[in-house]
């Protein structure tokens, strides 16, 4: 209970910037409650003064009063609906923005532990549930509470004894209402979890549709989707069942109460202890009273659904980024001297993937990192832009520990080209200018020319304004890679990281891309990761990693002469490249 209250207080605190609109909405809701009560109040004079006493002047006054009441009620209902909907939607829009921005600030560790589909579900489905709790539930809670208070006043004013009899029924409804809400919250939470799994499955299968089709797995994926979808269906039916039973239950209790009132009240009228007008005014107010009570039952269910969504959203919002700026972080000046990797140890979980790495990279130097898969090459270069933080040791740029500088100034000095070309469903121009879409057309074209991309871009239907599709699906692999190189060129960062930038390309595309990479590397401190050792021959220095540690270091020629791990890697690649198997290849051939 305490947890629920804290969650709801936190949600309502988001309404503070909209307090003026909320006050006006509150006034409107108050008048809706008063006008509803006034209609019940007018039943007595309508019956007693018009139908029984036959007073003509009351025939003019009461209908006019009813019309006026409905006009006021209509205006106030419109006002409170628009105002509360605005507040609710504004809160949800801001919350969705905050959640998205918070997710964007998370480190890669966070994304490896949360699938894309589940995060998408948090931003969309979970936040939508909160919208109901913030605007619809609050509106109903306040408006129906005001209506309830007004009608309770009417029934006590008309006949306090009858009112006490009718009130006996209400305490009986408290326990089932609480149980319905508790059950609904559990179902809502499970529904959101299943919705996240379903969204994740959709994201994976739609983005990987080529593999699905290539392996003929359409039926398999259809069955997987059907299982999750069926689970979601059952949860929705449970939710519907809870909602459906709450209303009839309250109607039954109301019916019992009304039956008791008719029996007792009718007896009072027959005995002359009360008038028909008084009784019917009381009965009208009582019947009208049960409607807001029923709605308040559903309000509790809506609130519990919203709290289930809020719990999942705040779970993300309350998880601080693993990698973030320190309070006293400073700006990193442009690199002039070197990058020092000093005694660095790093692990994703418990087992270290890097152990005691010591490397100094001079400004303007081209350093290649090679090794078997899993040796720690990518992990090492991912530490430099602080995608992750080191466990032990430090990384310094010109003597500045990268943990002491702002992430923006650090990453502003680093450009990356990776094997996985990350492009967006936007124009070629915006993809090249990503990071600074205000760049001049001349700068963009210049970067594209240096990346050997201008000619093929101009051959496209709309040139630089061509939409390239999701992940650049309308372009070839080589074309996509040259776009990412143009993007890195335009950034003009002093540090460049090339992570398997040509490994997925054919020979012809690799030649085009390699020329673009040479243009990109000029005058920059470059860290190269490559499985194709032919691409690192001209590096100033080659660092060989094995099992998370540095085992060799030197130029291509020096490492071949050493006849160690690097030479062995060269021999393996030579063997793979031969049309037939030979056992006599040696490092001598790698020269």
Instruction: Tell me whether residue 513 is in a domain.
Output: no
The residue assigned the tokens 């106030």 is 76
CATH assignment at residue 174: 1.20.1560.10
Instruction: Tell me whether residue 295 is in a domain.
Output: yes
393 and 453 co-located in one domain: no
332 and 293 co-located in one domain: no
pLDDT at 93 over 80: yes
567 and 431 co-located in one domain: no
Instruction: Tell me whether residue 377 is in a domain.
Output: yes
Instruction: Tell me whether residue 518 is in a domain.
Output: no
Instruction: Tell me whether residue 512 is in a domain.
Output: no
CA–CA dist 340, 397 (Å, integer): 6
The predicted model gives 61-87 an average pLDDT of 87
pLDDT at 61 over 70: yes
CA–CA dist 91, 19 (Å, integer): 12
Q: pLDDT > 90: what percent of the chain? A: 8
pLDDT at 109 over 50: yes
340 confidence band (pLDDT: 50, 70, 90): very high
Q: Are 415 and 497 in contact (CB under 8 A)?
A: yes
361 and 289 co-located in one domain: no
Instruction: Tell me whether residue 515 is in a domain.
Output: no
344 and 301 co-located in one domain: no
Domain boundary among 258, 291, 317: 317
Q: What are the tens digits of pLDDT across the range 254-274?
A: 667 667 777 767 777 777 776
The predicted model gives 218-233 an average pLDDT of 82
Ranges assigned E (strand) in 8-63: none
CA–CA dist 159, 265 (Å, integer): 9
- Max mean pLDDT among 160-174, 359-373, 408-422, 515-529 falls in 359-373
pLDDT at 577 over 60: no
CA–CA dist 81, 90 (Å, integer): 14
Higher pLDDT pick, 15 / 176 = 15
What is the domain range of residue 187? 2-317
pTM over 0.85: no
Torsion, CA 47, CA 48, CA 54, CA 59, rounded to 10:
-50
228 and 268 co-located in one domain: yes
Q: Are 361 and 398 in contact (CB under 8 A)?
A: no
In this prediction, residue 257 carries a pLDDT of 67
Q: What are the tens digits of pLDDT across the range 112-145?
A: 777 777 788 788 778 877 877 777 777 777 887 8
83 and 195 co-located in one domain: yes
Consecutive H or E run containing 340: strand 338-347
Beta strands 541-546; 366-370: pairing state: parallel
Ranges assigned E (strand) in 403-478: 414-418
Beta strands 495-499; 414-418: pairing state: parallel
pLDDT at 586 over 50: no
CATH assignment at residue 427: 3.40.50.300
390 and 440 co-located in one domain: no
Q: What are the tens digits of pLDDT across the range 238-251?
A: 877 777 776 677 66
In this prediction, residue 403 carries a pLDDT of 92
Domain boundary among 295, 317, 339: 317
Torsion, CA 12, CA 14, CA 20, CA 26, rounded to 10:
-20
> What strands, in cross-sheet order, belong to the sheet with 495-499?
414-418, 495-499, 525-529, 366-370, 541-546, 549-554
Q: Are 299 and 178 in contact (CB under 8 A)?
A: no
Domain boundary among 317, 351, 369: 317
In this prediction, residue 394 carries a pLDDT of 92
Higher pLDDT pick, 217 / 108 = 108
264 and 392 co-located in one domain: no
Instruction: Tell me whether residue 322 is in a domain.
Output: no
Name the domain count of the chain: 3
572 and 439 co-located in one domain: no
406 and 458 co-located in one domain: no
**Encoded tokens for 213:** 């089709």
Beta strands 495-499; 338-347: pairing state: unpaired
Instruction: Tell me whether residue 418 is in a domain.
Output: no
Phi, psi of 218 (to 5 degrees): -60, -45
DSSP of 80-113: HHHHHHHHHHHHHHHHHHHHHHHHHTS-HHHHHH
pLDDT at 560 over 80: yes
**Encoded tokens for 425:** 């469903």
331 and 435 co-located in one domain: no
The residues near 345 (Cβ < 8 Å, ≥ 6 apart) are 352, 354, 355, 356, 357, 390, 391, 392, 393
Q: Specify the 3-state DSSP secondary structure of 396.
A: strand
**What is the average pLDDT score of the chain?**
79
Q: Specify the 3-state DSSP secondary structure of 516.
A: helix
């Amino acid at each position: 209970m305490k947890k629920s209250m804290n969650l709801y207080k936190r949600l309502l605190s988001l309404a503070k910037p909209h307090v003026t609109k909320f006050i006006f909405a509150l006034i409107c809701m108050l008048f809706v409650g008063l006008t509803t009560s006034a209609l019940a109040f007018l039943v007595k004079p309508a019956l007693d003064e018009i139908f029984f006493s036959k007073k003509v002047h009351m025939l003019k006054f009461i209908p006019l009063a009813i019309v006026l009441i409905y006009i006021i009620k209509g205006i106030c209902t419109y006002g409170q609906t628009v105002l509360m909907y605005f507040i609710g939607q504004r809160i949800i829009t801001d919350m969705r923005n905050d959640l998205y921005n918070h997710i964007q600030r998370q480190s890669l560790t966070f994304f490896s532990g949360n699938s894309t589909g589940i995060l998408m579900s948090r931003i969309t489905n979970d936040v939508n549930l909160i919208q109901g709790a913030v605007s619809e539930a609050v509106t109903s809670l306040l408006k129906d509470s005001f209506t309830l208070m007004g009608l309770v006043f009417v029934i006590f004013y008309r006949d306090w004894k009858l009112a006490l009899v009718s009130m006996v029924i209400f305490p009986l409804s408290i326990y089932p209402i609480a149980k319905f809400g508790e059950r609904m919250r559990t179902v809502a939470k499970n529904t959101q979890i299943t919705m996240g799994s379903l969204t994740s499955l959709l994201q994976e299968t739609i983005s990987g549709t080529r593999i699905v089709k290539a392996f003929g797995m359409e039926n398999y994926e259809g069955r997987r989707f059907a299982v999750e979808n069926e689970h979601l269906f059952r949860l929705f039916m449970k939710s519907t069942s809870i909602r459906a039973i709450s209303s009839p239950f309250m109607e039954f209790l109301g019916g019992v109460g009304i039956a008791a009132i008719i029996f007792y009240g009718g007896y009072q009228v027959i005995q002359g202890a009360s008038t028909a007008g008084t009784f019917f005014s009381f009965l009208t107010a009582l019947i009208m009273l049960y409607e807001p009570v029923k709605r308040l039952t559903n309000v509790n269910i809506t609130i519990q659904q919203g709290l289930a969504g809020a719990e999942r959203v705040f779970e993300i919002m309350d998880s601080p980024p693993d990698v973030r700026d320190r309070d006293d972080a400073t700006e990193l000046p442009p690199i002039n001297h070197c990058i020092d990797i000093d005694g660095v140890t790093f692990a994703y979980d418990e087992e270290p993937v890097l152990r005691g790495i010591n490397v100094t990279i001079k400004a303007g130097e081209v350093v290649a990192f090679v090794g078997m898969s899993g040796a720690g090459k990518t992990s090492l270069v991912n530490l430099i832009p602080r995608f992750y933080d080191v466990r032990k040791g430090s990384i310094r740029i010109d003597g500045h520990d990268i943990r002491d500088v702002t992430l923006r100034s650090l990453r502003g000095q680093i450009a990356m080209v990776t094997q996985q070309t990350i492009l967006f469903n936007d124009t070629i121009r915006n993809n090249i200018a990503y990071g600074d879409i205000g760049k001049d057309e001349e700068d963009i074209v210049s970067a594209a020319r240096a990346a050997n991309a201008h000619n093929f871009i101009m051959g496209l239907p709309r040139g630089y304004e061509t939409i390239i599709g999701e992940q650049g699906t309308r372009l070839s692999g080589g074309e996509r890679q040259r776009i990412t190189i143009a993007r890195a060129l335009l950034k003009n960062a002093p540090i460049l990281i090339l992570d398997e930038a040509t490994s997925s390309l054919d020979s012809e595309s690799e030649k085009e891309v390699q020329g673009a990479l040479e243009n990109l590397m000029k005058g920059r401190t470059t860290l190269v990761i490559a499985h194709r050792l032919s691409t690192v021959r001209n590096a100033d220095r080659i660092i060989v990693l094995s099992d998370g540690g540095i085992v060799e270091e030197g130029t291509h020629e020096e490492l071949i002469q050493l006849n160690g791990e690097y030479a062995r890697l060269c021999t393996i690649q030579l063997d793979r490249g031969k049309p037939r198997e030979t056992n006599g290849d040696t490092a001598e051939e790698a020269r």
